Structure 1
Amino acid sequence: MDTAGHEELEARVGAQLRRYVAFHDLPSVGGGDGWPQVDADWCARTGHDLVIAWDIHTDINLNGDQLLAGAINDQLDSFFNKAKAFPNKVSLRMWWEFNDGNGRKVGNYPTAWPGGYAQWRDGWRYVVDRAKATGAHVSRGGNVTFFWCANGADATGLRMEEFWPGAEYVDMIGLDAYNDHGAPWTEFADKIQPMMNRILKLPGATGKPLGIGETGSVDINNGKANWYRNLFMTTKWGDLKVVDFFSAVGEADWRIDHPESLRAVSAEFLRKAPR
């Protein structure tokens, strides 16, 4: 969950994990630009790409009305200019798991998006257009991409399809999914299939790079190591370009190097990963 933890994990599995994932908020009205300078400096020094799970937080004074009115244009431009100057890739997993019904999502937290689905889509396009205007987006020769990342299942009446902003505003598509307590034990390839099949039917989605923004497994009857081994060895999703692991202790122990049996599996396969 920080650069020190990332370094420690790399040491434990004996491989560089090129994508460093950090959780940060969009700029707030009247605040700074939100560029994660400490994380970015470390990534630049160590040769890591910077992946940001980028959320919108109404408790720091920002909602869809303000965003579309241009209230944070200067901060967004500053953010994207710094991103453009960053020497490696920057991936923005913006408003991730939008269909999970938790946090600041459409429906459950209407103050974030008083205009509902349509405003969410407009907001997404608005931010991408700011990235394009600064030259930071890859379409303008920059290094910034946008990762449209759904939850592995819809919740509380939300439908993933309602959040699709259009293929021209998305660089990578995918989802987050966990093999969790309280549900049948499900192998990775089967876990992601139902939602990924729906995502691939979205207009213009065919041919987009596929990614997993978060994944992990609980350990039941010492099965965790085999779950990860099956993930690494599956041929069912050969089109996946990236898989980011949530290697931390949260509501469960999602660490990719614990227990010892799993560490051996992770080390075996992560050492083969593209750098």
Structure 2
Amino acid sequence: MTGSRHRPRRAAALRRRTLLAAGAGLALLLGLLLYLPPPAQGHRAPAAARCAAGPSLAPPCGAWWGAYVPTGPDGLVASVTALEQRIGRRLDLVYTYHDMGSGTDGQLLDPAEQRLGTDHLLMLSWESDVWSDTAPGGSTPLGWARIAAGDYDASVIDPQAERVKAYGRTVLIAFDQEMDSRTPVDGTPAQFVAAYRHVVDRFRQLGVTNVRWVWTVTGYLPHTQLFSEMYPGDSYVDWIAFDQYNYYGCKGNPDWLSFAQTELPSYTWIRTHISATKPLMLAEFSTAVDHAHPDAQQQWYQQVPQVLERQLPGVRAVVQWDSSVPGPDCDLSLDTGPALSGFTGAGHSPYLNQPLPGGS
């Protein structure tokens, strides 16, 4: 079922990242010194027409408010609805994950997603793996070289492209998100670029015009050389995304980082070295718990709207990771405590309430 999948390969990547995160706090804080935020500007709610999203799906005012929501026993739609009832508003964007297998996990835009797509934006993470509980590490990579060579066009790429085309509404697709954590197992940076371009080219050749392509990295600053080597070019990318968390206490990470400290260094590097104009997305974000200061989670989320508006103006979508990652003290979900209260309050900011595009 969409959303219920544990995405074994994704979990492995998160395990690697939480180990790396213990040493990342200093790099993040140093990155802040490279950035001077612009002067604070008062928010003026513009007319709805002026803030309507254009072809890229990026809102010219504010940002979309979204989440990855794990599927419960009653299905993905019920799980998303339950979260929306708890936060007192509809999510703008729902994020789901797929492999490239022949089973239901490999079916882009399954019935639950299509139902949600009637009044939500959809973003699909499409990973070049076949997930299996019996495979080493939980999945088998197809390999970027073989994807670039067209070996999976007939069996995987083309059928899913036709499904997306038939769906009609515009969707966001991230091919192999966090690819910087997937090399060298899946291939070289050059092979990733070739695979990414091949997938996009196949969709275009088949006349699929209702996809906006998202290039997603971890945001982990020691990987910046990989970021540069793995960027497929502006003509192949509609959005740039990164996934940064406040991993305080998770796997022994000693540094509590505010929302600004968590996101600004990666934002600044991407804006300086990859693109100064592409819309940006926090494709996964969240904070761990400070058991000594339980209200810190609430305060962390309360900072989000103001930081987005004043210091991260290029970020046009923010997507909560409403789950956990492997390891003690690594629960990053909203649950029902201070995190949920803070997320709820932030989601009612005018900056995070923009008109959804018609026909999305």
Q: Which category describes the TM-score, using the shorter chain as reference length?
A: 0.7 to 0.9
Q: Tell me the CA shift for residue 156 of structure 1.
A: 7.7
- Among residues 88, 108, 111, which one is paired with 1:14 in the alignment? 88
Are the counterparts in 2 of residues 26 and 57 from structure 1 also a CA contact under 8 Å? yes
- Among residues 258, 263, 268, which one is paired with 2:336 in the alignment? 258
Find the aligned partners of 2:152 and 2:104 in 1 and give their Cα distance.
Answer: 9
Relative to structure 1, is the Cα distance of residues 265 and 191 closer, same or farther in structure 2, using a 3 angstrom cutoff?
closer
Secondary structure of the residue that 1:214 maps to in structure 2?
Answer: strand
Are the counterparts in 2 of residues 154 and 160 from structure 1 also a CA contact under 8 Å? no
- Among residues 127, 152, 169, which one is paired with 2:236 in the alignment? 169
**Please, which moves more after superposition, 189-198 or 208-217?**
189-198
1:19-98 to 2 correspondences below 5 Å: 19-27=93-101, 34-44=107-117, 46-57=118-129, 59-60=139-140, 62-74=142-154, 75-98=156-179
- Among residues 252, 267, 272, which one is paired with 2:344 in the alignment? 267
Alignment gaps of 5+ in structure 2: 1-69, 131-138
Q: Tell me the CA shift for residue 233 of structure 1.
A: 2.2
| Corresponding position of 1:139 | none
Are the counterparts in 1 of residues 173 and 214 from structure 2 also a CA contact under 8 Å? yes
Are the counterparts in 2 of residues 257 and 266 from structure 1 also a CA contact under 8 Å? no
Q: Tell me the CA shift for residue 15 of structure 1.
A: 0.7
- Could you tell me which amino acid in structure 1 is paired with residue 301 of structure 2? Y
Secondary structure of the residue that 1:244 maps to in structure 2?
Answer: strand
Q: How many positions carry a matched residue from both structures? A: 257
1:1-275 to 2 correspondences below 5 Å: 1-2=70-71, 3=76, 4-27=78-101, 34-44=107-117, 46-57=118-129, 59-60=139-140, 62-74=142-154, 75-99=156-180, 101=181, 105-107=182-184, 109=185, 112-113=186-187, 116-136=188-208, 142-154=209-221, 159-181=226-248, 182-202=253-273, 205-220=275-290, 221-222=293-294, 223-234=296-307, 235-251=310-326, 252-256=330-334, 258-259=336-337, 261-271=338-348, 272=350, 273-274=353-354, 275=356
Find the aligned partners of 2:198 and 2:305 in 1 and give their Cα distance.
Answer: 37
Relative to structure 1, is the Cα distance of residues 169 and 78 closer, same or farther in structure 2, using a 3 angstrom cutoff?
same
- Could you tell me which amino acid in structure 2 is paired with residue 197 of structure 1? T
Find the aligned partners of 1:85 and 1:154 in 2 and give their Cα distance.
Answer: 39
TM-score normalised by structure 1 residue count: 0.84
Q: Tell me the CA shift for residue 37 of structure 1.
A: 1.4
Q: Tell me the CA shift for residue 5 of structure 1.
A: 2.1
Find the aligned partners of 2:268 and 2:212 in 1 and give their Cα distance.
Answer: 22
Q: Tell me the CA shift for residue 82 of structure 1.
A: 1.6
Alignment gaps of 5+ in structure 1: 137-141
TM-score normalised by structure 2 residue count: 0.65
CA RMSD of superposed structures (Å):
2.5
- % identical aligned pairs: 23
- Could you tell me which amino acid in structure 2 is paired with residue 240 of structure 1? V
Q: Tell me the CA shift for residue 80 of structure 1.
A: 1.6
Find the aligned partners of 2:91 and 2:341 in 1 and give their Cα distance.
Answer: 16
Are the counterparts in 1 of residues 301 and 346 from structure 2 also a CA contact under 8 Å? no
Find the aligned partners of 2:335 and 2:240 in 1 and give their Cα distance.
Answer: 27
Find the aligned partners of 2:239 and 2:175 in 1 and give their Cα distance.
Answer: 11
Find the aligned partners of 1:55 and 1:31 in 2 and give their Cα distance.
Answer: 14
Find the aligned partners of 2:218 and 2:260 in 1 and give their Cα distance.
Answer: 15
Find the aligned partners of 1:265 and 1:38 in 2 and give their Cα distance.
Answer: 32
Find the aligned partners of 2:280 and 2:301 in 1 and give their Cα distance.
Answer: 19
Relative to structure 1, is the Cα distance of residues 152 and 33 closer, same or farther in structure 2, using a 3 angstrom cutoff?
closer
**Please, which moves more after superposition, 162-171 or 192-201?**
192-201
Relative to structure 1, is the Cα distance of residues 93 and 157 closer, same or farther in structure 2, using a 3 angstrom cutoff?
closer
Find the aligned partners of 1:217 and 1:160 in 2 and give their Cα distance.
Answer: 24
Relative to structure 1, is the Cα distance of residues 33 and 179 closer, same or farther in structure 2, using a 3 angstrom cutoff?
closer
